[in-house]
A and B are shown apart, each in its own frame.
Chain A
Amino acid sequence: MPSFDVIVIGGGTNGLAAAHRLQTSGRKVLVLEQAGQAGGAAVAREFAPGFRTPGLAHIANQIDSRVMSGMDLGRHGLGFVTSGLSSTALSATGDHLVLEGSAGATIRGTISDADRKNWLALRKQLLSFAEVLAPFKQLTAPRIAKRAGNEYGKLARFGLNLRMLGKADFREFLRMILINVYDVVNDELTDKRLKGLLTFDATLGSWLGPRSPNSLILLLNRLAGEGAGQRAALALPKGGMGAVADAMVKSATASGVNLRTGATVDSLLIEDDRAAGVRLANGEEVRAKIVVSAMSPKTTFLKLVGPRHLDAGFVKRIGDQKSRGAAAKLHLALKGAPDFRGADLKSRLVIAPSDDQVELAYNAVKYGEVPKRPVMEIVIPSAHEPGFAPAGHHVLSAVVQFAPHKPKAGADAARAEMLENALAMLEEHAPGIRALVTHAELLMPYDIEAQYGMVGGNWHHGELSVEQMLFLRPVAGIAQYATPIEGLWLAGAGCHPGGGISGAAGWNAAERIIREARA
């Protein structure tokens, strides 16, 4: 067995990004991935004979620009069928509203002039705020402490960007940064479909409702992302999200990274109180001086490291880190094209009839219940290109919210109820769709946890919310990728800047490791 300088646990997009960056810095890197294929939530899957679907993630809107160019993903096969995916706020009467261009630069559909005008003003404001926040994604979260190793140059640029907003906008920025999205949309808009869409987008992947404090910042975070190199754009990779996983694997391997799949890490080897390698589930030991965990922080510490190697206060903090998932993933094999009352199947179809409906759907999970009328985001990959379903057939991929991560009714009953309620919502918006379904699969948050290892099934490996952001992510004291165990680093979505098919956390972590090694 050759020796390695670095072991990366978890070959998700963050693990692969970190591995590539560290390998190209001159280190020998081994990635250990438990699944049969690396790529984590980006890996595509055949869920019914002849039907392929993105495993979890189905839209690219967060891919880190450094990862895109640093890993040269284009050269390794990543292309996009579209980088300007439109969003359709579906109406049950066919009166749809279509937002086109990045973050809805234009709106098609019947909407009042006032709303149209106010939306454009609000969009501009939100985008300017997002522009201020965007650079944060590409740096280690700063800490308020002496010798914290803050990236002062980049932070100064952030300060400058803030100043560039001008006095009035800066005041608005401070007013709005911690506000809830419900108040913001209701201050500016009246159209239910538009408000439904915006509040859906803000709470996608979170455990917050539109009225929960701080929910606007998640919308800003979303807008601060990039799809195919464009701010706030939604992109669909050619060949589906699986293509991102494939390109990253190819690039990492080409750079010299060793990748082992089917290798589940069971525990961290600790010698002289520092990381010495890992032990696999089959008992095998692999040694390296640097171990980078690109899986959930909670599992990393509570299981791989174990409380006995950690301080009690730290264990408590990690144990209390919130990691509730509320996004379920629905996959349907359809024997024909569904008809969403004339909506373009190449659009991102959103069923979120109003901001209040989004709130009501969230309300249920607070009590461990399944919402009567869930809200959802639908992508139909087979409408864009062949290769996802047999000719004439279609694949529907939807993120359905909000699903309880610990249902009162029990796992199976809740899954069945969620599926039924989701199908009923679909039928309401696309009459006849149920008759087209030949196979249906619904992954509840706990199913996602079991299959992907995301604690609580949470999108971000730990909720992304103000109290778990920046220097508080994943928890205070370990926000700069280093951990209390020397030689053990974090690099997954549980770290700053959070989740999404992005690689930002992994890249940041690698940069930090390289920098600390030099210091």
Chain B
Amino acid sequence: MNVMRNSDPRLHYLTPLKQTPFHPRTAAENRLNDWGPWAGYTTALSFGDTAMEHSAIRNGASVYDLCPMVKYRVTGRDAAAYLDRLTVRNASKLSVGGVHYTIWCDDAGKVIDDGTLFRLGQTDYRICCQERHLPWLLDSAIGFEVYIREETEDVAALSLQGPCAWSVLNAAGFDVADLKPFRMRSFPFDGGELMISRTGFTGDLGYELWTTPAHAIALWDHLFAAGAPWGIRPIGTHALDIARIEAGFIITNMDFIPVDQAVREDRARSPFELGLEWMVDFDKGHFTGRRALLKEKVNKSSKWALVGLDIDGNVSVEGSIIYHNGKTEVGTVTAACWSPSAKRNVALAQIRRPYHETGNLFVEVYALRELQYAKLMLPARMCERPFFAPPRRRATPPGPF
């Protein structure tokens, strides 16, 4: 039954969450019936065993349904100039067939969202991101000859991640041996087209596969048939979340509040405050937020820092408050896990400057042990991200595992 396809648009409220084109397959696999909402879609949080799913990411081949990722298509003569003005990175320099991670800011230089930018053609780009931004993208188009279209529902995408991802694709008949990280290539598939990009959100060897909803089921079936020898398995958001924390990646609305949604004025964050200043290109010409960011850089007026923490013990510290010297409150953990890959207790945290430089940090944790809390003050050390970075993620050609 598929009530969401009901033709009367007034009945949309009967199905507040949409199903992705892969739903017939993910529903059949979801043994615990463990679902959560993501950008208006029903998505699997886990299929039965998060530890096994995470293990597939790091030791085999995993498949994650990416369809709810918000996607915009930007085309037209000024597409590159438009994206140069919209985002902080240099979109003109991105070559056709390339992808880069990027962010965009408001006038005050506060981050609106992050995402990946795909250059599909000279004047043809796709933005993939977490939140919806059509009004902002359209406002930003004033003065540019560009066409902007939301195409979230027109694209069906899967993320194939893990050391065996390349082997699976090879077995599936897609030759991507020489495809470098952040590059993409198209293949004919099922009478349509399949675009494969060497991208992902796990910090491991992996690819993302893009087609239209009409070919979604065929793609799923083809991948799972080809990947069976490598133990290919669907994964839910919980497993992916562990992998992305290991990789040190941040998520909008989890590790920072996008400025256009922040209710409290002081919650907005600049790229400097999220550890993203490396991508800000001050030399490419004007972009939204540039003057504010330049001022912040010159005046050194950033108030926050986003850092990686390594914490004593093995109690995961999500949501904890961070103290300097065990006394002064200086920040909050935004994401944390015991990392099965790094065998370390890790976290991402927002820390008020200058405490990101002082050291002597502690994390306050209330560990629930059989209905009783143990209050712990765990020493935490600032450390480099990613926490886990296997060389295979960049090796080209990737090795057959």
A residues near B (Cβ < 8 Å) are: 273, 302, 306-316, 319, 484
Contact = CB atoms under 8 A, between A and B. Distances in A.
A319 B142 contact: yes
B291 A307 contact: no
7 contacts: A307-B143, A308-B81, A309-B286, A311-B291, A312-B106, A312-B142, A313-B288
B212 to A, nearest CB: 31
Contacts of A484: 291
B286 A273 contact: yes
B286 A312 contact: no
Contact of A308 (B85, B107, B289, B291): B85
B361 interface: no
Interface in B79-97: 81, 85-86
Given A312-B136, A313-B106, A316-B142, 20 more contacts: A273-B290, A302-B143, A307-B142, A307-B144, A308-B81, A308-B85, A308-B285, A310-B286, A311-B106, A311-B107, A311-B288, A311-B289, A311-B291, A312-B86, A312-B106, A312-B142, A315-B139, A315-B143, A319-B142, A484-B291
Contacts of B288: 311-313
A317 to B, nearest CB: 9
A312 B140 CA distance: 5
Question: For this complex, into which size category does the number of interface residues on chain B fall?
Answer: 10 to 19
Given A308-B81, A308-B85, A313 B142 contact: no
A314 B109 CA distance: 13
A308 B85 CA distance: 7
B140 to A, nearest CB: 4
B349 to A, nearest CB: 29
B139 A316 contact: yes
Nearest to A311: B107
Contacts, number: 45
A315 B291 contact: no
Contacts of A309: 286
B107 A314 contact: yes
B286 A308 contact: yes
Contacts of B139: 312-313, 315-316
Interface of B: 81, 85-86, 106-107, 136, 139-140, 142-144, 285-286, 288-291
A312 B87 CA distance: 11
A309 B143 CA distance: 10
Nearest to A307: B143
Nearest to A310: B286
A309 B286 CA distance: 6
A166 to B, nearest CB: 38
B107 A312 contact: yes
A273 B291 contact: yes
Contacts of B136: 312
Nearest to A303: B143
Which of A309, A313, A316 has most chain B Cβ within 10 Å? Answer: A313
B106 to A, nearest CB: 6
A448 B290 CA distance: 37
Contacts of A308: 81, 85, 143-144, 285-286
B6 to A, nearest CB: 36
B265 to A, nearest CB: 12
Contacts of A302: 142-143
**Most A-side CB within 10 Å, residue of B81, B106, B107:** B107
Contacts of B289: 311
Contacts of A306: 143
B286 A315 contact: no
A312 B139 CA distance: 6
A87 to B, nearest CB: 44
Nearest to A270: B286
Nearest to A320: B139
Contacts of B286: 273, 308-310
A301 B291 CA distance: 16
A315 B142 contact: yes
A309 B285 CA distance: 8
A310 B107 CA distance: 9
Contacts of B140: 312
Top 3 A-B pairs, shortest CB-CB distance: A307-B143, A311-B107, A312-B140
A313 B143 CA distance: 13
Given A273-B286, A306-B143, A307-B142, A312 B291 contact: no
Contacts of B81: 308
A307 B291 CA distance: 14
A187 B86 CA distance: 53
B58 to A, nearest CB: 41
Contacts of A316: 139, 142
A319 B142 CA distance: 9
A263 B289 CA distance: 34
A313 B107 CA distance: 6
A252 to B, nearest CB: 33
Nearest to A314: B107
A273 B286 CA distance: 8
Most buried by B among A308, A312, A319, A484: A312
